[in-house]
Structure 1
């Protein structure tokens, strides 16, 4: 959706500052409307405004908790996928040693090229190229396995290697889905932002009706709410932001493979 693409185009810092600025203006507008209404109808009672504001704050807290849980689950899935893929690639690299010498060298050279492609950098621009090259390497690795399977159809050792290679290809799609396609629904993010703005406007309006407010408290609530929503948005972004999935398992694997290739 377009508004989700617009959110993705903002840096985390820009989103936080924009949220603070917009909500401060909204809360101030709500306060001034409340004061204007109170001066216009001085004899009217406030009504259940405080109760409504309390209900809105409770609903906003519930929505924040649910959305944060969804974003955290997706972040944990991406983190687990990194470790799982590192293990699968490492097993495939080791089992490639079971292959005949020429095929083993060719396979390990392809895996040596493959591993750096699986390290996610904070640069969304190169992601399509990395994905395309990964798919090309899958095809090359599978072509070698097919050639060997036709010449060694009864080999149990080859079957072990092909099993690992199949897992390597499968985990690529699983990680791609978890990292790129499994995003929070844009409607949920829009509802959260709209609820935050509406709630802060009502808080300002309620303060305007009573004529009593604490600017420091209001700013503090806005900053804390903005920080929580910014953290949620950061967790939900797979390729950029301040909170990113640690790529150390694959980096360690790359160093291990490089060392092994150098010794060989």
Structure 2
């Protein structure tokens, strides 16, 4: 599912919503068909215990939805916080390059600008995975060069301020970047999503079975039930992949862009 959404972007999200809505609606109708089949075959439809089982399934579904939604929302907030933190760390490290003498300062500032450009390009390129990987690879090369050249420049200067202030600031900026990249890959195990979708389908099956025993089909109730489940699951998945759907963290990249604008060139 993650690879489908990542590779297809908006199209993948639309396919996901339509497929989920259709599958839940089919499960609802299957429950109704089971009831009708029992009636047509002359058998008494099963009613004993069905309500208790359906209640248990929906209780478990509600618990799982609450668990996954809470986790997705927490990870979404963490990703936004990490963007701001990276912007602050990069801004601090860039300003501390002023501790170095020329021409090393100017050379390192130019490398730093290229590094930040590569970081911005990586996240703007989503969902184009090849462009993302290329931008991240470029930022890794620039990071190594920036660190190596900063260490050499700090050793050549007579002041210890560069070593004591610049290098820790660079290390903090690089650590935050690594943490931010890791956070984009942090998702619940696939089995949890599998359980969530399976419980939705099983619950819809029991709901359709129970609704069939209460008279003619009510499309309004059925569609509201299916739409509610579909939108709930979509919001959870959207929070997990906040650069692909309606819920996005792109606006927070403006904080990094402002830092880049403050770097003059």
2:204 equivalent among 194, 197, 200: 200
1:117 aligned residue: 118
In the alignment of these two chains, the number of paired residues is 256
Q: How big is the shift at 1:210? A: 4.1
Alpha-carbon separation, structure 2, partners of 1:6 and 1:188:
17
Q: How does 1:10-159 map to 2 (within 5 A)?
A: 11-43=12-44, 46-119=47-120, 120-121=123-124, 122-125=126-129, 126-152=131-157, 155-159=160-164
Checking the alignment, whether the CA contact within 8 Å between 2:83 and 2:256 is kept in structure 1 is yes
1:223 aligned residue: 227
Secondary structure of 1:193's counterpart equals helix
2:3 equivalent among 2, 5, 15: 5
What's the CA shift string for 1:151-181, capped at 9, x where partnerless? Answer: 24761233201111111111121111001x2
Alpha-carbon separation, structure 2, partners of 1:113 and 1:154:
27
What's the CA shift string for 1:197-248, capped at 9, x where partnerless? Answer: 1110111112224445422111101111101101111111154222111312
Q: How big is the shift at 1:49? A: 1.1
1:250 and 2:256 matched: yes
Q: How big is the shift at 1:43? A: 4.4
1:171 equivalent among 169, 176, 182: 176
Alpha-carbon separation, structure 2, partners of 1:201 and 1:7:
27
Q: Where does the alignment leave 5 or more consecutive residues of structure 2 unmatched?
A: none
The 1:137/1:9 distance shift into structure 2, 3 A limit, reads: closer
The 1:49/1:253 distance shift into structure 2, 3 A limit, reads: same
Q: How big is the shift at 1:123? A: 2.9
Q: How big is the shift at 1:32? A: 0.9
Alpha-carbon separation, structure 1, partners of 2:44 and 2:71:
47
2:195 equivalent among 191, 194, 218: 191
Q: How big is the shift at 1:38? A: 3.1
Alpha-carbon separation, structure 2, partners of 1:224 and 1:80:
30
Q: How big is the shift at 1:71? A: 0.9
Q: Where does the alignment leave 5 or more consecutive residues of structure 1 unmatched?
A: none
Q: RMSD between aligned alpha carbons?
A: 1.9
Q: How big is the shift at 1:47? A: 0.8
The 1:191/1:103 distance shift into structure 2, 3 A limit, reads: same
Alpha-carbon separation, structure 1, partners of 2:152 and 2:4:
48
The 1:92/1:252 distance shift into structure 2, 3 A limit, reads: same
Higher RCO, 1 vs 2 (CA within 8 Å, ≥6 residues apart) = 1
The 1:137/1:127 distance shift into structure 2, 3 A limit, reads: same
Checking the alignment, whether the CA contact within 8 Å between 1:23 and 1:200 is kept in structure 2 is yes
Checking the alignment, whether the CA contact within 8 Å between 2:91 and 2:259 is kept in structure 1 is yes
2:244 aligned residue: 240
The 1:42/1:136 distance shift into structure 2, 3 A limit, reads: same
